[in-house]
Amino acid sequence: MTTTGKAVALISGGLDSATVLAIARADGFDVTALSFDYGQRHRFELEASQKVCEANQVSNHIVYRLDTAAFSGSALTDSIDVPKGRSDSEMEAGIPVTYVPARNTVFLSIALGLAESIDAYDIFIGVNAVDYSGYPDCRPEFIAAFEQMAKLATKAGVEQTGRFKVHTPLISLTKAEIIKQGLSLAVDYGLTHSCYDPAGDGISCGQCDSCQLRLRGFAEAGATDPITYASPQV
């Protein structure tokens, strides 16, 4: 694996992307961070992404504005209730209403265009298929297919065969393993935001799928989650 040169890292402001950014930096990449303002219901994750980038001394942080008004049916963008207090079996039963149509496909496509334009051949994304909430675009099969498409659909991919690599260092780790790795890299998880349905002041609900997986991860890692929750449930 190439460990030097330019890379684009997708940064949401959450726990996973903060860990991925620290990994990319530790591997020696000159990182351009890419976040998306895609009409999500709150701004807290974008604020967190900026803090995470500053903490990692990433000077080039692009916030790409994306109009997803035509993409309906997600609790993260529409007036749909975010599920709370779900059991493991409920979380594993099908694709949740927090799925945003083709989000990672769209995000990675923009990251690919940015990467090619700045002569970067490495893209980092914090997808995870172990503590899995049913998102089809977090699976290894999807990443492999996208990487192959990148090699076929770009000038750089055609002229410099095999140059594009989509790095998914967290894809086979549990949330606890991700947290342990992040802590070993001095990631400040107090800067991150994971909640799907925070209060108006940004306090995490503690009940949505994302909060539950995060809280459980910290407990299994034997660590304390530094953020505040309104009603934590593990």
What integer pLDDT is reported at residue 2 of this predicted model?
44
Considering only CA atoms, which of 157, 152, 62, 169 is closest in space to residue 119? 157
Rounded Cα–Cα distance for residues 86 and 125 (Å): 26
What integer pLDDT is reported at residue 232 of this predicted model?
72
What integer pLDDT is reported at residue 138 of this predicted model?
85
**What are the tens digits of pLDDT across the range 43-67?**
899 999 999 999 999 999 999 998 8
Across the chain, mean pLDDT equals: 88
**Residue 30: φ, ψ to 5°:** -90, 105
The edge-to-edge listing of strands for the beta sheet with 29-37 is 61-65, 29-37, 5-10, 122-124, 165-167
All domains of the chain, ordered by start, with CATH? 5-83+99-190 (3.40.50.620)
Determine the Cα angle at 185 with ends 181 and 187, to 5°.
Answer: 95
Instruction: State pTM to two decimals.
Output: 0.89
Cβ partners under 8 Å of residue 164, min gap 6: 112, 115, 121, 122, 123, 147, 150, 151, 154, 156, 157
Cβ-contact 14, 131 below 8 angstroms: no
Which stretches of the chain are DSSP H helices? 15-26, 44-55, 88-91, 103-117, 140-153, 155-159, 175-184, 209-221
How far is it between the farthest Cα atoms of the chain? Answer: 54
Cβ-contact 24, 168 below 8 angstroms: no
What integer pLDDT is reported at residue 137 of this predicted model?
86
Rounded Cα–Cα distance for residues 17 and 65 (Å): 19
What integer pLDDT is reported at residue 3 of this predicted model?
43
What integer pLDDT is reported at residue 93 of this predicted model?
62
pLDDT in tens, the chain (234 residues): 444 599 999 999 999 999 999 999 999 999 999 999 987 877 899 999 999 999 999 999 999 998 876 676 665 665 666 666 667 766 666 676 556 777 889 999 999 999 999 999 999 999 998 765 668 888 899 999 999 999 999 988 888 766 899 999 999 999 999 999 999 999 999 999 999 899 999 999 999 989 999 999 999 999 999 999 998 765
What integer pLDDT is reported at residue 131 of this predicted model?
65
